[in-house]
Amino acid sequence: MASIKQVQITFDCASPERVARFWCEALGYVVPPPPEGFATWDDFTSSQPPEERDSWFACSDPSGVGPRLYFQRVPEGKVVKNRVHLDVRVGTGLVGEERLAVLEAECARLVPLGAVRVRLLAADDDNESCLVMQDVEGNEFCLD
């Protein structure tokens, strides 16, 4: 059986670079170097025809462990809840008030970057608490 070597997560969005830079800050990811032959991303962007500018952007885990995130511009806006979302695992192994404090601290860090707090899902018999949030274009994610 063949093994999967890499996974890329792709986001449809209106402004790829803006969304990518939010996720770089949220996850500690980095923007890769500009394409060969260009000193900066601005140089690359200005070389593109106007209709292709900001049509895609990517970021990656600097350790190489996490998946690459790819952002592509699509003409339609987001209309319904995501069928797939990211869980940003900041509270792994923590429970109760300690977990809530870590989730709230991460929420407080992300809101000034453009994230929106949606609601707290309180712990129950089966699950620990998590915070439902949205990124800069309304894509849902959870602080878990």
pLDDT, one tens digit per residue, over 31-45 is 999 999 999 989 999
- Tell whether 2 is covered by a domain: no
Write down the mean pLDDT value for the chain.
92
Sequence-ordered list of residues with C-beta below 8 angstroms from that of 60, at least 6 positions apart, any chain = 29, 30, 32, 66, 68, 69
Q: Are residues 14 and 57 in the same domain?
A: yes
- Which helix H or strand E contains 27, and what residues bound it? helix 16-27
Assess whether 58 and 22 both reside in one domain.
yes
Residue 73 confidence (pLDDT): 93
pTM of this structure: 0.86
Q: 15-19, 77-81, 98-102, 109-113 — which is least confidently predicted?
A: 77-81
Q: Tell me, yes or no, whether 80 lies in a domain.
A: no
72: Cα separation from own chain's centroid: 13
- Do 107 and 61 sit in the same domain of this protein? no
Q: Which residues constitute the domain of residue 27?
A: 8-73
